[in-house]
Amino acid sequence: MPIPAPNLYPPFNIIRLSHAVFGVEDLAASRRFYVDTLGLQVTDEDSEHIFLRALEERGHHSLVLRKSELPQVRALAFKVFDEGELDKAEHWFKAKGHKVEWVERAYQGRTMRTHDCFGTPLEFYFKMDRLEPIHQKYELYKGVKPLRIDHFNCFASDVDKAVGFYNELGFRVTEYTEDEQSGKLWAAWTHRKGGVHDIAFTNGLGPRLHHTAFWVPTPLNIIDLCDLMATTGYVANIERGPGRHGISNAFFLYILDPDGHRIEIYCSDYQTVDPDLEAIKWDLKDPQRQTLWGAPAPRSWFEHGSVFQDVEPAMSQLEATPIVAP
């Protein structure tokens, strides 16, 4: 199925992805992983939460860890252009028949909670507390030196449906994989902020969160993180990489946190600001699609994902499969 034409005038204006809220079983274990090992900065914490930001971020948080009995994802959040866009968003989602509620969130202004076409919990806000810049406080640069959150990737039972829904919200496709036999999308990368993606979709049991990615300065930071994880008890948490993607051209590493939430460490993709930029098409069987160089992705990378709270995933009907490592 052809990808939709870019929607340059969506019903409300989403600027970018903002943050994820992860349910975690052991806050202390998660703190050792995200703060002591990866190098994210704690902006607040109590017995139930840890709020984290990366080094270039001025907003209060880009990841929230919430103590939970089950390691589920509570929400994926996006920032809109101004307060008025929240009212437009409320009207649009209600007109589509989606449940909408206004919720209280620490360090944020008015926040609207709803869901996408699969039930994935989404939150939208405009105002978040701003913190002083720390990007030149180099004594804080530890671990992989994470600079900012970059994107989400979600399993979707119907990638065409996902792309159609998010296209209505103004997300533009930058690259995609099409199954030549059926003509259906197997994966797609879509953006708002001018990178390769804010949110991507991969065929599979969904909706589930495949990974959340953080941008780092250079590939060498990723190599340093591998050395650190290998010598601090986390070698088994390295799932895939390092390597370079064909899609996005980015240098990558995939790791699992103590609860199994997948994190991608990511750098070196390209700008996509021009609204008339043509999307790049890839064949599902192209061996350099997922990995330009490096070992092929293991089976776990195609099967394991984090479930969303109170959302039952559905099987995909698309049986096409990519190249999987033996």
User: pLDDT tens digits, residue range 268-297?
Assistant: 999 999 999 999 999 888 889 889 999 989
Closest CA to 153 of 193, 203, 192: 203
Say if 320 falls within a structural domain: no
Task: Return the SS3 of 33.
Answer: helix
How many domains does the structure of the chain reveal?
Answer: 2
Side chain identity, residue 201: F
152 and 260 assigned to the same domain: yes
Please say if the pLDDT value at position 180 is more than 90.
Answer: no
Sorting pLDDT into bands at 50, 70 and 90, what band is 1?
low
Neighbouring CB atoms inside 10 A of 125's CB total 21
Say if 321 falls within a structural domain: no
Q: What is the pLDDT of residue 323?
A: 67
Helix (H) or strand (E) holding 102: strand 101-103
165 and 283 assigned to the same domain: yes
Residue 287 CB partners (closer than 8 Å, separation 6+): 296, 323
- Of 133, 163, 194, the domain-final residue: 133
What CATH number should be reported for the domain holding residue 206? 3.10.180.10
178 and 91 assigned to the same domain: no
- Of 133, 167, 192, the domain-final residue: 133
121 exposure class (CB count in 10 Å sphere: 0-12, 13-18, 19+) = buried
CB 240 within 8 A of CB 254: yes
CA distance 235 to 37: 12
153 and 298 assigned to the same domain: yes
222 and 265 assigned to the same domain: yes
76 and 127 assigned to the same domain: yes
223 and 295 assigned to the same domain: yes
Say if 5 falls within a structural domain: no
CB 290 within 8 A of CB 323: yes
- Of 114, 133, 152, the domain-final residue: 133
Residue 188 CB partners (closer than 8 Å, separation 6+): 3, 159, 162, 163, 173, 175, 176, 177, 200, 201
User: pLDDT tens digits, residue range 90-149?
Assistant: 999 999 999 999 999 999 999 999 999 999 999 999 999 999 999 999 999 999 999 999
Please say if the pLDDT value at position 310 is more than 70.
Answer: yes
151 and 300 assigned to the same domain: yes
Closest CA to 41 of 51, 29, 53: 53
Say if 312 falls within a structural domain: no
Range of the domain at 28: 14-133
Q: What is the pLDDT of residue 326?
A: 62
Give CA torsion, residues 245, 15, 194, 291, to 10 deg. 10
CA distance 64 to 42: 10
pLDDT > 90 in the chain, percent: 92
Alpha helices in the chain (DSSP H): 27-31, 83-95, 159-168, 219-230, 287-290, 299-303
Q: How does the average pLDDT of the chain come out, rounded?
A: 96
Say if 1 falls within a structural domain: no
Neighbouring CB atoms inside 10 A of 227's CB total 9
Task: Return the SS3 of 301.
Answer: helix
User: pLDDT tens digits, residue range 234-256?
Assistant: 999 999 999 999 999 999 999 99
Task: Classify the phi-psi angles of 115: left when phi > 0, otherwise alpha if psi is within -120 to 50, otherwise beta.
Answer: beta
Say if 8 falls within a structural domain: no
Q: What is the pLDDT of residue 171?
A: 98
155 and 267 assigned to the same domain: yes
Say if 72 falls within a structural domain: yes
193 and 245 assigned to the same domain: yes
158 and 289 assigned to the same domain: yes
149 and 295 assigned to the same domain: yes
15 exposure class (CB count in 10 Å sphere: 0-12, 13-18, 19+) = middle
Please say if the pLDDT value at position 34 is more than 80.
Answer: yes
Say if 238 falls within a structural domain: yes
